[in-house]
């Protein structure tokens, strides 16, 4: 009798425990887990140069089941200002951060500050921290070298006679420096000297700056902003016949190539920069022991003649989103 | 661990009827619930799966219809442009009219239309809407839509989505369009010629439609491809082109309309294919197997919850049923256990008819057993009593015969005084023998009786032996069995000292621990050891002297009254003498004790002995 009562109570207790577990699991499944939120800090995120990158972020967020929030870092923020902005994002519930290197330095300190609280990854400059910091982006040095290669190929035997000017909006960032170094290193053997190298930000500033520079045969634009500015000036016939080669990833840059204002366009696969950086962070959020890896993203050299080939149309598709 | 569990299970199942019933009922209930749960789950899964597939099919049919509408709209625009504008006018002088007609068409459909353009067979632009600058040398003759229109003149040709790269767009944008091209007949200065009419529809129309059905984040997705498997729209289009993802589009494009189960990239999935009219495009819906499982999660949880609740309720019901069934049996068992333990409870009779019948049977059996026990005890006592009486009655004739024989000799030898003394002693002996008919007398009376007997025997034997008494007065007030010394004394005379001149018989009475010890010692010839053993066991021995009753008789009488622990003990040394000891329990001679012993109940004797023990310890 006593055994039977004990057994009855034991069975009922086990069943009640199972019921509680199942109910809790059902409620949890019904309510669902709040998706992780990843904050992406971009300077001027609404410009067309970020279209492919943002499309990549959205696609990866959908695949990984996370929420992505793009935060604008208005103007040229200092490391301290960007630090306080990141701090605000983390306090507001960001589970991870994706950010660009801060112009003028201080990115390392920022990453240290974030890294102890939430996972963070850098975009645009995989060489940052020499592999110690997870970063996803195109090989900037290789893109610079590709430009130099294209230039040499185009000019052929007349290359030594050509004068070159360099335009870069990101000259004070590691990304810009890598590109310039890549370009200069590739031309080192030729002994070619760079006539001038200028840096500016904003289209108006570029216009004035370009007008003030001595005429050159070749203009090398190391980022999208300077390329669009140079393309615009070329279209307006203000470059005294200078041929423009550059790196860009906006439809405007493609347009100037299409119109013949730009000779060659090296396009980093920004979709993949966005996609892979967010995928890395999402992996890290799902598995706290996952070590985020840096990745070099490919780039494509676009020629006007083959601009609308099937492969290039896929690239344009990401930029047009 | 496993063995322990089975041991415990065995213990529980063998533990009691209630546990067994409950365990059996619960096991059956749980098994039934599990089977029911699995069956329900399988049924619900199948229904859910069918419903999902059906709703997906419906959605795809609707989407297919919308796509067809989109394509029909394109055809209608193309037809209107051709029959209402191009065929109506001569391109040599009425280009403006053509332009005007195209403009009307464009304005009416500009939400979905990107451009309408008319080219001659050299690829030169004749008219276009909206009016825009053509890009420098677009060389349309090398573009797919132009070539297909020229190759298959009788058909309309739908292209896959591509960037429209014919006209300048100062907003720096590149539009994705689906091109419908057809060969048209142009009238040029009265002469007939060929040209190509191009209608570019904005791909965003298709894209929006596809995005809308792909909006549900439940795992399934839809994509559109042409008949060769070329992707027109896919929610992961860029991932596919970048090699991040894979799609089975080449194979699925070859499927006819219907539902297919396939394994792709190691995962099972169901694929629904719907062909879009006019183009041969395939609208493909992909339902991964995991999606069905995901959709069933809540239902599964609910089923499990319901099953657990039902099992809990069933266990409670089982418990109530098992208690109701087993309680009367358990109560009956308790009654029987109490009965076995010595109590005399009422047998519990309750429950179902069968159990009540069992209870009545057990009760009747116990009543019958009790009656039988009483009868047996009564019969035993009666038998013991009659046996005792029979043994006792054997003594008197034996002795009487000897005494009367002696008196006869005395009278014949004219020894009248001795005969008178003898008769007097004999009378006293018999008076003592009678002892008011009691079997149990006090030791003092038994000693006196023995003394009287020895007086008679001494006369008979002419004082050929002497009698000594060594009696501890303490023993005199204890109980003894009547006539136990006389047969021993008779044996001592007959087998011990007869024929001796200095025969000596000593009667001893003393305490030996808790017992009373009476002994008869003679200095006669003794008995060989083997014969001494037989004296107390062999009842059929042929006696040399006397009637044949003697020590065996005395021993049995003592043991009948006091138990096997008491009785006679014979010690003999040839030529030294024999001592016959009687061991009796030290029971004080009172009327109450006598009566209990006379009744012959074993329990009565033990009660007295225990009582004495208690009294002794109290005194200490």
Predicted confidence band at B370 (pLDDT cuts at 50, 70, 90)? confident
DSSP-assigned letters across all residues of A120-155: EEEES-TTGGGGTS-EEEE-HHHHHHHHHHHHHHHH
Percent of residues in chain A assigned helix, strand, coil, to nearest 5:
50, 15, 30
Mutate to test the interface with A, among B12, B242, B295, B321 (most CBs of A within 10 A): B242
A319 in any annotated domain = no
Q: Residue A314 and residue B241: Cβ atoms within 8 Å? A: yes
Residue of B nearest to A24 (CA): B301
The SS3 call for residue A38 is: strand
Specify the CATH number for the domain of residue A229.
3.40.50.2300
Chain A CB contacts of B162 below 8 Å: 308, 313
Q: Are residues A131 and A204 in the same domain?
A: no
The values of phi and psi at residue B335, to 5°, are -60, -45
Q: Are residues B383 and B491 in the same domain?
A: yes
Q: Are residues A240 and A282 in the same domain?
A: no
* Cα A234 to Cα B566: distance, rounded to the nearest angstrom: 144
Q: Residue B238 and residue A3: Cβ atoms within 8 Å? A: no
Residue of A nearest to B245 (CA): A63
Q: Are residues A246 and A274 in the same domain?
A: no
Predicted confidence band at A315 (pLDDT cuts at 50, 70, 90)? confident
Among the partner residues B19, B238, B311, nearest to A3 by beta-carbon distance = B19
Chain B CB contacts of A15 below 8 Å: 308, 311-312, 315
Residue of A nearest to B231 (CA): A314
Q: By percentage, how much of chain B surpasses pLDDT 70?
A: 89
Specify the CATH number for the domain of residue B257.
3.30.450.20
Q: Are residues B383 and B285 in the same domain?
A: no
Chain B CB contacts of A255 below 8 Å: 169, 172, 174
CA distances from A95 to A34, A87, A241, B85 (A): 11, 12, 51, 61
- B598 C-beta neighbours (distance < 10 Å), count: 16
Q: Are residues B421 and B547 in the same domain?
A: yes
For residue B30, give how far its alpha carbon lies from the nearest alpha carbon of chain A (Å).
11
Helix B353-412 × helix B289-340 angle, to 10°: 30
Structure tokens at B346: 């009422």
Backbone Cα Rg of chain B: 65
Query: Which of A144-158, B35-49, B58-72, B387-401 has the weakest average pLDDT?
Result: B387-401
Residue with tokens 């070099």: A296
Among candidate residues B241, B258, B289, the one where a domain is terminated: B289
Among the partner residues B174, B239, B305, nearest to A251 by beta-carbon distance = B174
Q: Residue B236 and residue A63: Cβ atoms within 8 Å? A: yes
Q: Residue B176 and residue A320: Cβ atoms within 8 Å? A: yes
Chain A CB contacts of B309 below 8 Å: 19
Domain count, chain B: 2
B570 in any annotated domain = yes
Predicted confidence band at B430 (pLDDT cuts at 50, 70, 90)? confident
B43 in any annotated domain = no
Q: B296 CB near a chain A CB, below 8 Å?
A: no
- Going by C-alpha positions, the residue among B76, B101, B73 that lies closest to residue B87 is B101
Q: B241 CB near a chain A CB, below 8 Å?
A: yes
Chain B CB contacts of A308 below 8 Å: 162-163, 165
- Residue B463: DSSP 8-state: T
Q: By percentage, how much of chain A surpasses pLDDT 70?
A: 96
Q: What is the pLDDT of residues A268-300, one digit of tens each?
A: 999 999 999 999 999 999 988 898 888 889 999
Asked whether the predicted pLDDT for residue A201 surpasses 80, the reply is no
Predicted confidence band at B547 (pLDDT cuts at 50, 70, 90)? very low
Asked whether the predicted pLDDT for residue B531 surpasses 70, the reply is yes
Asked whether the predicted pLDDT for residue B605 surpasses 60, the reply is no
* Cα A7 to Cα A1: distance, rounded to the nearest angstrom: 10
Chain A CB contacts of B135 below 8 Å: 258
Average pLDDT over residues B578-595: 89
A238 in any annotated domain = yes
* Cα A209 to Cα A165: distance, rounded to the nearest angstrom: 12
Q: B34 CB near a chain A CB, below 8 Å?
A: no
Predicted confidence band at B610 (pLDDT cuts at 50, 70, 90)? low
Q: Residue A275 and residue B244: Cβ atoms within 8 Å? A: yes
Average pLDDT over residues B76-86: 90
Q: Is B561 exposed, middle or buried (0-12, 13-18, 19+ CB in 10 A)?
A: buried
CA atoms within 13 A on the CB side of B107: 7
What pLDDT, on a 0 to 100 scale, did the predictor assign at position B540? 58
Average pLDDT over residues B546-558: 70
Average pLDDT over residues A132-145: 89
CA distances from A53 to A75, A274, B119, B548 (A): 19, 5, 38, 135
For residue A157, give how far its alpha carbon lies from the nearest alpha carbon of chain B (Å).
29
Q: What is the pLDDT of residues B17-63, one digit of tens each?
A: 777 777 788 788 888 888 988 898 888 888 888 988 999 999 999 99
Q: Residue A18 and residue B176: Cβ atoms within 8 Å? A: no
The pTM score is 0.67
Among candidate residues A246, A268, A290, the one where a domain is terminated: A268
B5 in any annotated domain = no
Q: Residue A19 and residue B165: Cβ atoms within 8 Å? A: no
Helix A51-64 × helix A310-319 angle, to 10°: 90
Domain that holds residue A111: 37-139+270-298
Residue of B nearest to A271 (CA): B238
Query: Which of B210-219, B232-241, B506-515 has the weakest average pLDDT?
Result: B210-219
Q: Residue A15 and residue B312: Cβ atoms within 8 Å? A: yes
Q: Are residues B398 and B276 in the same domain?
A: no
What pLDDT, on a 0 to 100 scale, did the predictor assign at position B389? 65
Q: B618 CB near a chain A CB, below 8 Å?
A: no
Cα B364–Cα B369–Cα B373 angle in degrees, nearest 5: 150
Q: Are residues A72 and A131 in the same domain?
A: yes
Q: Are residues B236 and B380 in the same domain?
A: no
Q: Are residues A78 and A186 in the same domain?
A: no
Average pLDDT over residues B342-354: 80
What pLDDT, on a 0 to 100 scale, did the predictor assign at position B548? 46
Q: Are residues A97 and A166 in the same domain?
A: no
Domain count, chain A: 3
* Cα B543 to Cα B229: distance, rounded to the nearest angstrom: 133
Asked whether the predicted pLDDT for residue B550 surpasses 90, the reply is no
Asked whether the predicted pLDDT for residue B603 surpasses 50, the reply is no
Residue with tokens 């015969």: B401
A263/A172: higher pLDDT: A263
Query: Which of A195-209, B423-437, B501-515 has the weakest average pLDDT?
Result: B423-437
Average pLDDT over residues B81-85: 89
Q: Report the DSSP beta bridge partners of residue B288.
A: B269
Average pLDDT over residues A171-189: 87
A195 in any annotated domain = yes
Q: Are residues A165 and A23 in the same domain?
A: no
User: Which helix H or strand E contains B568, and what residues bound it?
Assistant: strand B567-573
Q: Are residues A24 and A64 in the same domain?
A: no
A315 in any annotated domain = no
B27 in any annotated domain = no
For residue B71, give how far its alpha carbon lies from the nearest alpha carbon of chain A (Å).
22
Specify the CATH number for the domain of residue B606.
3.30.565.10
Q: Are residues A179 and A214 in the same domain?
A: yes
Chain B CB contacts of A269 below 8 Å: 242
Q: Residue A316 and residue B330: Cβ atoms within 8 Å? A: no
Predicted confidence band at B600 (pLDDT cuts at 50, 70, 90)? low
Query: Which residues touch A7 (CB under 8 Å, ≥6 apart)?
Result: B12, B19, B22, B23
Average pLDDT over residues B305-328: 85
ipTM of the complex model: 0.83
> Any long-range contacts for B97-106 (C-beta under 8 Å, 24+ apart)?
B98/B126, B98/B127, B99/B127, B99/B129, B99/B131, B102/B127, B102/B128, B102/B129, B103/B129, B103/B130, B105/B77, B105/B80, B105/B81, B105/B129, B106/B130
A11 in any annotated domain = yes
- A139 C-beta neighbours (distance < 10 Å), count: 20
Q: Are residues A199 and A219 in the same domain?
A: yes
A154 in any annotated domain = yes
Lay out the sheet containing A37-42: strands in order across: A67-72, A37-42, A96-99, A120-123, A135-138, A295-297
Give whichever of A144-148, B155-159, B361-365 has the largest mean pLDDT.
A144-148
What pLDDT, on a 0 to 100 scale, did the predictor assign at position A75? 65
What pLDDT, on a 0 to 100 scale, did the predictor assign at position A124? 83
Asked whether the predicted pLDDT for residue B295 surpasses 60, the reply is yes
Residue of B nearest to A4 (CA): B19
Q: Residue B242 and residue A8: Cβ atoms within 8 Å? A: no
Chain B CB contacts of A22 below 8 Å: 301, 304-305, 308
Asked whether the predicted pLDDT for residue B351 surpasses 90, the reply is no
Among candidate residues B289, B309, B336, the one where a domain is terminated: B289
B268 in any annotated domain = yes
For residue A26, give how far its alpha carbon lies from the nearest alpha carbon of chain B (Å).
6
Predicted confidence band at A17 (pLDDT cuts at 50, 70, 90)? very high
Q: Are residues A147 and A253 in the same domain?
A: yes
Interface of B with A in 339-368 (CB under 8 A): none
Q: B8 CB near a chain A CB, below 8 Å?
A: no
What does the mean pLDDT of chain A come to? 86
Backbone Cα Rg of chain A: 25
Chain A CB contacts of B169 below 8 Å: 255
- Going by C-alpha positions, the residue among B53, B144, B171 that lies closest to residue A310 is B144
Q: Are residues A46 and A131 in the same domain?
A: yes
* Cα B378 to Cα A65: distance, rounded to the nearest angstrom: 97
User: Which helix H or strand E contains B42, and what residues bound it?
Assistant: helix B17-80
Residue of B nearest to A14 (CA): B312
Domain that holds residue B78: 52-289
Q: What is the pLDDT of residues B323-346, one digit of tens each?
A: 888 888 888 888 888 888 877 778
Among the partner residues B16, B165, B298, nearest to A1 by beta-carbon distance = B16
What pLDDT, on a 0 to 100 scale, did the predictor assign at position A302? 93
* Cα B116 to Cα B139: distance, rounded to the nearest angstrom: 17
A303 in any annotated domain = no
What pLDDT, on a 0 to 100 scale, did the predictor assign at position A55? 92
Predicted confidence band at B396 (pLDDT cuts at 50, 70, 90)? low
Chain B CB contacts of A260 below 8 Å: 136
B26 in any annotated domain = no
Asked whether the predicted pLDDT for residue A221 surpasses 90, the reply is yes
Q: Residue B308 and residue A22: Cβ atoms within 8 Å? A: yes
- B85 with B114: CB under 8 angstroms? no
Among candidate residues B254, B289, B324, the one where a domain is terminated: B289
A166 in any annotated domain = yes
What pLDDT, on a 0 to 100 scale, did the predictor assign at position B511? 92
Q: By percentage, how much of chain B surpasses pLDDT 90?
A: 16
Among candidate residues A222, A250, A268, the one where a domain is terminated: A268
Q: B322 CB near a chain A CB, below 8 Å?
A: yes
Average pLDDT over residues B83-89: 87
Average pLDDT over residues A249-257: 91
Q: B333 CB near a chain A CB, below 8 Å?
A: no
Q: Residue A255 and residue B172: Cβ atoms within 8 Å? A: yes
What pLDDT, on a 0 to 100 scale, did the predictor assign at position A100? 84
């Amino acid at each position: 009798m006593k055994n039977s009562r004990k057994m009855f109570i034991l069975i009922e207790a086990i069943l009640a425990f199972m019921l509680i577990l199942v109910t809790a699991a059902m409620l949890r499944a019904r309510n669902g887990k709040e998706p992780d939120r990843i904050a992406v800090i971009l300077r001027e995120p609404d410009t067309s140069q970020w279209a492919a990158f943002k499309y990549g972020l959205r696609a990866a967020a959908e695949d990984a089941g996370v929420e992505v929030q793009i935060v604008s870092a208005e103007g040229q923020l200092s490391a301290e200002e960007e630090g306080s902005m990141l701090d605000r994002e983390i306090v507001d519930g960001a589970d991870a951060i994706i950010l660009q290197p801060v112009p003028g330095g201080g990115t390392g300190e920022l990453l240290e500050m974030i890294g102890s609280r939430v996972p963070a990854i850098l975009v645009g400059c995989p060489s940052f921290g020499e592999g110690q910091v997870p970063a996803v982006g195109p090989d900037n040095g290789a893109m610079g070298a590709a430009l130099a290669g294209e230039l040499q190929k185009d000019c052929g035997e007349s290359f030594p006679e050509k004068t070159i000017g360099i335009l870069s909006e990101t000259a004070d960032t590691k990304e810009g420096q890598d590109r310039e170094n890549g370009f200069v290193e590739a031309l080192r053997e030729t002994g070619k000297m760079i006539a001038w190298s200028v840096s500016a930000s904003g289209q108006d500033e570029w216009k004035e700056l370009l007008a003030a520079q001595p005429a050159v045969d070749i203009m090398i634009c190391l980022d999208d902003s300077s390329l669009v500015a140079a393309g615009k000036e070329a279209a307006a016939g203000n470059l005294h016949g200078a041929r423009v080669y550059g790196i860009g990833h906006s439809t405007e840059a493609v347009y100037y190539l299409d119109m013949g204002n730009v000779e060659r366009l090296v396009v980093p696969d920004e979709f993949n920069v966005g996609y892979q950086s967010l995928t890395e962070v999402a992996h890290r959020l799902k598995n706290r022991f996952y070590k985020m890896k840096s990745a070099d993203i490919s780039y494509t050299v676009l020629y006007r003649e083959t601009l609308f080939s099937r492969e290039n149309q896929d690239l344009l598709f990401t930029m047009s989103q | 661990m496993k063995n322990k569990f089975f041991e415990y299970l065995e213990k529980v199942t063998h533990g009691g009827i209630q546990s067994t019933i409950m365990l059996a009922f619960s096991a059956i209930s749980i098994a039934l619930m599990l089977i029911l749960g699995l069956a329900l789950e399988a049924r619900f899964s199948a229904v859910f799966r069918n419903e999902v597939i059906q709703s997906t099919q419906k959605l795809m049919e609707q989407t297919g219809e919308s796509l067809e509408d989109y394509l029909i709209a394109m055809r209608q625009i193309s037809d209107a442009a051709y029959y209402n504008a191009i065929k109506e006018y001569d391109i040599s002088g009425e280009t403006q009219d053509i332009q005007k007609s195209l403009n009307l068409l464009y304005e009416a459909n500009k939400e979905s239309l990107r451009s309408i353009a008319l080219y001659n067979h050299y690829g030169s632009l004749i008219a276009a809407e909206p009016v825009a600058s053509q890009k420098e040398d677009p060389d349309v003759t090398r573009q797919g839509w132009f070539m297909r229109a020229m190759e298959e003149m009788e058909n309309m040709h739908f292209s896959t989505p591509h960037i429209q790269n014919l006209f300048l767009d100062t907003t720096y944008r590149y539009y994705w369009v689906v091109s419908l091209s057809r060969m048209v007949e142009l009238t040029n200065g009265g002469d007939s010629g060929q040209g190509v009419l191009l209608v570019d529809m904005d791909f965003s129309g298709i894209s929006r439609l596809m995005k809308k059905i792909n909006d549900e984040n439940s795992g399934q997705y839809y994509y559109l491809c042409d008949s060769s498997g070329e992707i027109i729209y896919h929610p992961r289009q860029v991932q596919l082109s970048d090699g991040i993802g894979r799609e089975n589009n080449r194979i699925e494009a070859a499927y006819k309309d219907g539902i297919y189960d396939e394994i792709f990239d190691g995962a099972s999935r169901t694929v629904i294919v719907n062909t879009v009219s006019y183009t041969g495009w395939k609208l493909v819906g992909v339902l991964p197997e995991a999606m069905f499982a995901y959709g069933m999660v809540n239902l599964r949880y609910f089923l499990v919850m319901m099953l657990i609740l039902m099992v809990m309720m069933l266990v409670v019901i089982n418990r109530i049923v098992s208690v109701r069934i087993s309680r009367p049996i358990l109560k009956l068992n308790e009654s029987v256990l109490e009965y076995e333990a010595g109590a005399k409870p009422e047998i519990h009779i309750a429950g179902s008819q069968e159990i009540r019948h069992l209870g009545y049977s057990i009760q009747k059996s116990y009543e019958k057993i009790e009656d039988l026990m009483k009868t047996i005890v009564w019969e035993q006592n009666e038998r013991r009593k009659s046996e005792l009486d029979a043994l006792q009655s054997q003594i008197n004739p034996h002795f009487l015969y000897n005494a009367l024989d002696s008196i006869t000799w005395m009278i014949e030898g004219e020894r009248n005084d001795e005969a008178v003394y003898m008769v007097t002693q004999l009378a006293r002996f018999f008076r003592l023998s009678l002892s008011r008919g009691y079997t149990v007398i006090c030791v003092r009376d038994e000693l006196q009786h023995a003394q009287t007997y020895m007086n008679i025997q001494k006369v008979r034997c002419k004082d050929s032996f002497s009698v000594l008494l060594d009696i501890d007065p303490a023993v005199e007030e204890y109980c003894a069995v009547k006539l136990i010394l006389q047969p021993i004394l008779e044996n001592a005379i007959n087998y011990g000292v007869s024929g001796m001149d200095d025969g000596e018989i000593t009667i001893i009475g003393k305490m030996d621990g808790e017992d009373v010890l009476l002994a008869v010692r003679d200095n006669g010839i003794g008995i060989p050891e083997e014969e001494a053993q037989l004296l107390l066991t062999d009842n059929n021995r042929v006696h040399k002297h006397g009637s044949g009753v003697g020590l065996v008789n005395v021993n049995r009488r003592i043991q009948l009254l006091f138990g096997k622990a008491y009785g006679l003990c014979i010690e003999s040394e040839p030529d030294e003498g024999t001592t016959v000891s009687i061991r009796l329990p030290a029971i004080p001679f009172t009327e109450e004790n006598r009566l209990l012993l006379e009744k012959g109940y074993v329990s009565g004797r033990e009660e007295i002995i225990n009582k004495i023990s208690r009294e002794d310890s109290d005194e200490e």
